[in-house]
Structure 1
Amino acid sequence: MWFKHLQLYRLHGMQLLSPEQTALAMAEHAAKPLGNADARRMGWTPPASRLGGGQLLHTLQNDGHRLISALRQERLLPASVIKEEVEERVAEIEVTEGRKVTCKEKSALKEQVIEELLLRAFVRSQKIDLWWDTKRQLIGVNTSSRARAEETLDLLRETLGSLKVTPLTTQTLPVRAMTTWLGDAATRPADMQLGDQVELKTKGDDGVVRGRQLDLDSDEVQQHLEHGRQATQLALGIEGQLSFVLHDDLAIKSLRFGDALIEEADFADDGDDALARLETDFVLMAGCLRASVERVVEWLGGEAQRQQGNPEGSSDA
């Protein structure tokens, strides 16, 4: 259950429900099998479902951490397949009846085709985990996609009745800080480790430069910076804790937890109980994520101050 990515959000002015109240609310929005006419559906699923656990909410009461999981189900129905079927039916009508099919008829045919093909479409399921630090009023969604994170938050909003969140932002823009760190080693925080992966962009149309397994202090990288390119992705690490790729929107991706942390989890005495193992992993992971996110925010000058009123990009219900 170790997270691979983090889309980070700040909660605002929310009255926290008890774990019992939250679990009851989640049960009303639990995942259900797709109906025949459903193109997609989303609901809560036990984080430990594959391990035989049926608990929708896992909490660490003393530390304020919560773990929940959403199950997103979607029928795979490519637009090209729909288009081809509609065109075939249009052609058949025009030949059989000797007339042109109107736009209104084409639209009706398309709806009919979608309804019929959905019954035979494959279903793709995706589990999306969510870490909720109730003491820090922070949510991290384990997905590389901002859109999937927003869908998960929409489900949480519907479940709780209200949820005001904004993407986490910092005083210094990540792109500015990453470019500075890359160009001047003296500006890097003492506990920062520079990785071997980077993405560089310019404001013009000169394309994107991506590199992996590179010496990021090399002359080649420095020359790109001198020509005005900026770092929009940068591999970094916190010694002994976490390595990751920081993105210009403050998404933290490609997480790799420290060997010592993984070894501690492996040697924990869980009595071969899969559910106990998940709880152990969550304790260690959540503590690491809290400390690491706080450290990254410090590197970026601290959290940006929220403006009065409903800020742009906020989600509220």
Structure 2
Amino acid sequence: MWFKHLHLYRLHESAAIPAADLETALAEQAARLPGSSEARRLGWCPPAGRAGTALLHELQGQRLMTVLRQERLLPAGVVREEVEERGADIEAREGRKLRRKEKQELKEQVYEELLPRAFIRSQKVDLWWDTRRNLIAINSSSRTRAEEVLDLLRETLGSLKVTPLATQTLPMRAMTQWLAEEDSRPASMQLGDQVELKAKGDDGVLRARQVDLDSDEIQQLLAAGRQASRLALEIEGRLSFVLHDDLTLKSLRFSDALIDEANETEDDGDAIVRLEADFMLMTQTLADEIEQLIGWLDGEASTASLQGSA
């Protein structure tokens, strides 16, 4: 249940939709196998997997939903080989070279014929909706996957106005300052051991792991004009993560004390009770630390224009 990555979004002009109405809407977009002509399909599935049937879990204003992404795997190499073989047969039979347009049409034909026989790969992506703070967070390492989930939620609700969470101070500027000036670091923050430094020119990107971020080598790189685009941080010994320059949180790790606290919850072997207990403890921690992070970045940026709407 514990999230590993978070893409954060601010929800705007949100009318509260009752949980019962939301679950009905989710059911209308429930997951099903892709049709024979569909390369991929997204739909809602129970967050508890086989242990439950509910598409929505809501506790104290915190909502948990899960998307099942199913994609047919049709390697480009398989299509290319079949196209080449069929094309060679046609050219030998007709004694001529296929035109470019004919080859493209043949490729499309082969793709359509092979797609229904392709294997299906499934991936689940969790969505956390904090109705108290109008915050949506998606547990995915990929921004593209997160946007796909938002598109499905938009389709499910009929409209959805969201923008990626943004702060007054750009994360890159703040991370660079925290690295360069120890006195600028908030009292509850500790640096981790990972960093990504970008150069202003064409000198590329430098990535370092398991390093002392206060070392002379790092300070020299900063003095030369490099800026931090990723930085490993730990907050109050409760949560560690890698902060990215787009405010994405990756490689989330919750403290052993927090995990132990979760494990102490009595669930009597009930998977739903365990899921919901872990979810509540996790979201309480994440909500507090996200608010703290926003404060470190001088508050949330103004959202004069909405980027996500329907």
Q: Does 1:73 align with 2:70?
A: yes
Gaps of 5+ in 1: none
The residue number in structure 2 matching 1:266 is 263
Structure 1 residue 58 corresponds to structure 2 residue 57? yes
Correspondence 1:29 to 2:24 = no
Match of 1:185 in 2: 182
Q: Distance in 2 between matches of 1:249 and 1:81?
A: 37
Which whole-Å deviations, capped at 9, do the CAs of 1:204-239 have from their partners, x for residues lacking one?
A: 111211111111000011111111111000000111
Q: Aligned with 1:107: secondary structure?
A: helix
AA of the residue aligned to 2:151: D
Does residue 291 of structure 2 align to residue 294 of structure 1?
Answer: yes
Q: How does 1:1-317 map to 2 (within 5 A)?
A: 1-50=1-50, 52-60=51-59, 62=60, 64-307=61-304, 310-311=305-306, 314-317=307-310
Distance 1:21 1:283 in 2: 22
Mapped to 2, the partners of 1:89 and 1:189 lie a distance apart of: 65
The C-alpha deviation readout for 1:232-284, integer Å capped at 9, x for no partner, is 00000111321000000000000001211100111111111111000100110
Task: Report Cα offsets for 1:91-149 as digits up to 9, x if no partner.
Answer: 21111111222233222211111112212222111100001001100000000111100
- Measured after TM superposition, the shift of residue 36 of structure 1 is 2.1
Kindly provide the CA deviation profile for residues 16-59 of structure 1, in whole angstroms up to 9, marking residues without a partner as x. 21000000000000000122222100000100014x11110000
Q: For the residues of structure 1 that align with 2:189 and 2:5, how far apart are their CA atoms?
A: 19
**Residue type of the alignment partner of 1:302:** G
Instruction: State the Cα distance separating 1:75 from its structure 2 match.
Output: 0.9
Q: Secondary structure at the match of 2:309?
A: coil
Structure 2: distance between partners of 1:173 and 1:273: 44
Query: CA–CA distance in 1 between the matches of 2:265 and 2:245?
Result: 37
CA distance in 1, matches of 2:224, 2:79: 47
Aligned residues: 310
2:162 aligned partner, one-letter code: V
Paired amino acid for 1:80? G
Amino acid at match of 1:245: V
CA distance in 1, matches of 2:303, 2:113: 49
Partner of 1:9: helix, strand, or coil? strand
Say which SS state the counterpart of residue 54 (structure 1) adopts. Answer: coil
CA contact (8 A) 1:240 1:259 kept: no
> What secondary structure does 2:117 align onto?
coil
Letter in 2 for 1:283: M
Percent of aligned pairs sharing the same letter = 64
Runs of 4+ in 1 over 3 A off after TM superposition: none
Relative to the length of structure 1, the TM-score reads 0.96
CA distance in 1, matches of 2:139, 2:209: 23
- In structure 2, what is the Cα distance between the partners aligned to 1:229 and 1:68? 40
Amino acid at match of 2:123: Q
- Tell me, in whole angstroms, the C-alpha distance in 1 between the residues paired with 2:192 and 2:47: 31
